[in-house]
Structure 1
Amino acid sequence: MADWHPTAYRTHTLGEIQERGADLVGKEVTVCGFMEANRGKGAICFVDLRDGTGKLQVFLKGDAIGEESLDVVQRMTRESTLQFTGIVAQKRPPKLKEGESPPPPAYEVVANGVEVLTRANVPLPLGITDTVSIGLDTRLDNRFLDLRRAHVNAMFTLRARVLQYGREHLISEGFKEINTPKIIASASEGGTNLFPMMYFDTPAFLSQSPQLYKQLAVLGGMERVFEIGPAFRAENHDTYRHLNEFISFDIEAAWMTDEDVMGVQERMIHHIWKCVAENDQEHIDTVNEYRASQELEPISVDVPSLPFPRIDYCEAIQMIQDAGEEIQWGDDIDSSHCDIIAAKYPGFHFLPRWPMEMKP
């Protein structure tokens, strides 16, 4: 778990309290979050609070926080931002049927103070806990709310973990991280179109690759370098293999053959998948809960075996021809041809040994 430090607004995250609740029982804490729901009338109220680390129940009584403050919370709109100060307590365990195993202990905050940081306007343009399908335009127009949805937040967390695990592995193999310019004067790699722009009064382009700068770094004696960064390519992107803007792992190393480079790549991917499978199942489960509500198949993280298959260009051409497609040696392999290859090799695989005139 991350080592969160207190801020001016809170002493603990909600995830910290659930994770370390046994050590915090009886202690006063201050927490902040979005109000997911509230329940109760009269002299008591329960608030379901959520931040970026987890959820927590806050219990409020009128004689502890005052009738006026209690009334404000009971009439508060969903997704409003609230700050509570109170005492950590262990929640009463649920009633169990005979033979049922008790769940792990859960914790709550018994509030003695509350402050409204931001009141949410209603109605909300989209539901945070709803499972109703939402149009893409609505999601993008209200992206800050869309990101509060558990499965969307989980996907961004998984993305961050993939970058973290990949970076850690490359560093463990002796690579140094570099950052290269993204506004360039001319093409740094052939075969792709560039997005033009003006750099003050000088024509320039968005970088489509850090290739030149990586090679300069290696020639300068840095041995092994990598960059995790954006690339921009003005290409037809109506395929699953092309994007106009994307984030890539780019590596460069001295004294390596193509087989050595493939070894670095497959070890990195294996490490990423292994770490996600071992450390991040909770986020996979969150995504699958949403997918189940949409009647979609669950996703799983299957750690690939090493080494990955190597399918030489000549073998790939033969496979495509055997499937009845018209292709000759020297032709490019497009996305439909890749589907044919993937039917036989459904996991990660390499397509090396291309003709030099195609991939110089």
Structure 2
Amino acid sequence: MTEPQQSTEPTDTTVQGDETAGPSKNELKKRAKAAEKERKAAEKAQKQKEESEKQAAAEVDVAAEFYGPLPLNQSQSRPNRQRVPISTLSARDGETVLLRARVHTSRGQAKMVFFNLRQRTDSVQAILSVAPGKVSKQMVKWAASITLESIVLVEGVIQKSPEPVKSASVDDVEVHVTKIFLIAGVEARLPFSLDDASRPESEVEAADAQFNRVLLETRLNNRVVDLRTQTNQAVFGIQAGIGDLFREFLSANGFIEIHSPKLQGAATESGASVFKVGYFKGTAYLAQSPQLAKQMAIAADFERVYEIGPVFRAEDSNTHRHLTEFIGLDLEMAIEEHYHEVLELLDNLFLSIFRGLRQRYSKEIAVIGKQFPAEEFKWREGPEGTLKLRFSEAIDLLVNDGVAREELDDINTENEKRLGRIIKAKYDTDYFIIDKFPMALRPFYTMPDPQDPTLSNSYDFFMRGEEILSGAQRIHDPTLLAEKMKSKGVEPESMQGYLDAFRVGCPPHGGGGIGLERVVMLFLKLNNIRRASLFPRDPKRLEP
């Protein structure tokens, strides 16, 4: 048997390159980095997914129907939901209320907003805070963005405040807001803040204070915003109150209200102080007072009349107490025996107004006093009654105080104030009457004194040393009236209708005219009559 042949090629049992060995260290590092990157990417994707889901869930605002701008009110519905005044909130602890107010101040803190809500002279603190299922973060964020002075409709629960809220007039309760809607936003930039406009001058002038001073001119140029201050709301509340008290007293004393024309064919006092206006093909004059109409009403047997209406004076007087248009409170009455019947009725009228203001408007007076601190207005009561001086006695007081007698043919503004200071020091009153003025100082229709024709049956009333009423017995005899008209440079023919009223018989009569804005200014000591006029008119101002 033949044996198998041996192979002549060598048998290599050594592995060339070791193809079955694992990856190298570098490869392992690369793979580990790739795996880690992939893991982080997966975690990031998962986190983004969770955030997206969370955000999507958050976009479902549970409070969406409880806040936001209201549609334009075009009277499209009338739910008849009762709104409440802020002034009544102290008595509503625990109640859910609905109120409309302006946002006076707003302050955001984390998950809540503090508001000071204002209605005229009243304000209250309101709080909106996040509450699960009721008030969302979106709601709080939106509410915090509401601009100051916006008008909002707020629903909330009244709760006693843990301590008095110094910034609010209603300081013992808070409104915990559950719903808030925007009725009217503020589109223009506010010319000043109401806090700055409400600050007493003493605080502004304090050396260490850093407050913005709001000048009177700036206020009047932006009067709508200025009138929103609690001070001004109170001022014009008192102005309205004086009108009410004036009417009440006179109505109770047999007077009736009349309404006279303000366009006249002739000047009532002097042509230099009237406004001429074109009247078709001729000229008319704006009435300086209802003087002629009042007297003619007495000739028509109305006996006692009064009027509240505008008065126009074309005087280029740029002072703290003059306006070219103001509101006159005028009255006229028949006299039985003596013109002091009129003076005494006017005195009682003022005393009734002063008492009524103190009794009915103490809150408003206190509000105004915070910005315009003043001594309380004083008048004499009791048996002594109101201080009454003759013109000559007033002159003597001024002369004794050092004023030269030759300077006192008339009592100018400076000496009026000086006389007021003298009388306050001597008699402790801010209110007094001066009687028997020189005839030369009075208009043509004033009745002369029967004993001394250089004097007149006329009087002025004063508050804090400034005149607030001028009045007199009027001439009811047509012959004497025509004579006095000529002496004052007025042609009787130019006022024929007026004179004719006396030719058909007119009883003795007298009256007076009061400047409403002056009474407001002086009672409250506002220092400038423009503060007591809604939209003042003076030689330099016809707008707004």
TM range (shorter): 0.7 to 0.9
- Counterpart AA for 1:81: I
* Cα distance between partner residues in 2 of 1:156 and 1:128: 17
**Aligned CA distance change for structure 1 residues 55 and 274 (closer, same or farther; 3 Å):** same
Instruction: State the Cα distance separating 1:60 from its structure 2 match.
Output: 2.6
**Residues 1:90 and 2:169 aligned together:** no
**Aligned CA distance change for structure 1 residues 154 and 133 (closer, same or farther; 3 Å):** farther
**Aligned CA distance change for structure 1 residues 240 and 16 (closer, same or farther; 3 Å):** closer
1:308 maps to 386
1:11 maps to 82
* Cα distance between partner residues in 2 of 1:286 and 1:50: 14
2:176 maps to 110
* Cα distance between partner residues in 2 of 1:19 and 1:214: 49
* Cα distance between partner residues in 2 of 1:19 and 1:169: 34
Q: Using the TM superposition, name which of 313-322 and 154-163 deviates more.
A: 313-322
- The answer to whether the 8 A contact 2:84-2:97 is kept is no
**Of residues 370, 383, 390 in structure 2, which corresponds to 1:289?**
370
- The answer to whether the 8 A contact 1:18-1:107 is kept is yes
Instruction: State the Cα distance separating 1:264 from its structure 2 match.
Output: 1.6
Instruction: State the Cα distance separating 1:334 from its structure 2 match.
Output: 2.6
- Counterpart AA for 1:333: I
- Counterpart AA for 1:349: F
TM-score after normalising by structure 1: 0.81
1:45 maps to 113
**Residues 1:224 and 2:307 aligned together:** no
Secondary structure in 1 aligned to 2:348? helix
Deviations 1:164-203 (A, max 9, x none): 2222222222211222111222123348621111234432
* Cα distance between partner residues in 2 of 1:124 and 1:92: 31
* Cα distance between partner residues in 2 of 1:197 and 1:178: 24
**Aligned CA distance change for structure 1 residues 128 and 217 (closer, same or farther; 3 Å):** same
- Counterpart AA for 1:109: V
- The answer to whether the 8 A contact 2:86-2:170 is kept is no
* Cα distance between partner residues in 1 of 2:244 and 2:79: 28
Query: 1:127-138 alignment to 2 at 5 Å?
Result: 127-130=193-196, 131=199, 132-138=212-218
- Counterpart AA for 1:37: T
- The answer to whether the 8 A contact 2:158-2:173 is kept is yes
Query: 1:18-97 alignment to 2 at 5 Å?
Result: 18=89, 20-21=91-92, 25-26=94-95, 28-62=96-130, 63-86=133-156, 88-94=157-163
1:298 maps to 374
Query: 1:1-360 alignment to 2 at 5 Å?
Result: 11-18=82-89, 20-21=91-92, 25-26=94-95, 28-62=96-130, 63-86=133-156, 88-94=157-163, 106-121=172-187, 123-130=189-196, 131=199, 132-190=212-270, 193-239=273-319, 242-256=322-336, 257-291=338-372, 297-305=373-381, 307-322=385-400, 323-327=402-406, 331-346=409-424, 347-356=430-439, 358-359=441-442, 360=446
User: Percent of counterpart pairs with the same letter?
Assistant: 27
Aligned residues: 337
* Cα distance between partner residues in 1 of 2:135 and 2:296: 64
Secondary structure in 2 aligned to 1:351? strand
1:4 maps to none
Deviations 1:101-153 (A, max 9, x none): xx998344333322112222475320111333212232122212111222232
**Aligned CA distance change for structure 1 residues 324 and 144 (closer, same or farther; 3 Å):** closer
Instruction: State the Cα distance separating 1:340 from its structure 2 match.
Output: 4.3
Secondary structure in 2 aligned to 1:78? coil
Instruction: State the Cα distance separating 1:342 from its structure 2 match.
Output: 2.5
- Counterpart AA for 2:341: D
**Aligned CA distance change for structure 1 residues 177 and 128 (closer, same or farther; 3 Å):** same
- The answer to whether the 8 A contact 1:13-1:53 is kept is no
**Aligned CA distance change for structure 1 residues 316 and 94 (closer, same or farther; 3 Å):** closer
Secondary structure in 2 aligned to 1:49? strand
* Cα distance between partner residues in 2 of 1:195 and 1:264: 32
Q: Using the TM superposition, name which of 217-226 and 333-342 deviates more.
A: 333-342
**Aligned CA distance change for structure 1 residues 250 and 191 (closer, same or farther; 3 Å):** farther
- The answer to whether the 8 A contact 1:35-1:82 is kept is yes
Secondary structure in 2 aligned to 1:264? helix
* Cα distance between partner residues in 1 of 2:379 and 2:394: 25
The root-mean-square deviation of aligned C-alpha atoms, in Å, is 3.0
Secondary structure in 2 aligned to 1:270? helix
Answer 1 or 2: higher relative contact order, Cα 8 Å, separation at least 6.
Answer: 2
TM-score after normalising by structure 2: 0.56
- Counterpart AA for 1:118: A
Deviations 1:246-265 (A, max 9, x none): 22211100125321111122
Unaligned runs of 5+ in 2: 1-77, 200-211, 425-429, 447-544
* Cα distance between partner residues in 2 of 1:8 and 1:188: 55
Unaligned runs of 5+ in 1: 1-6, 96-102, 292-296
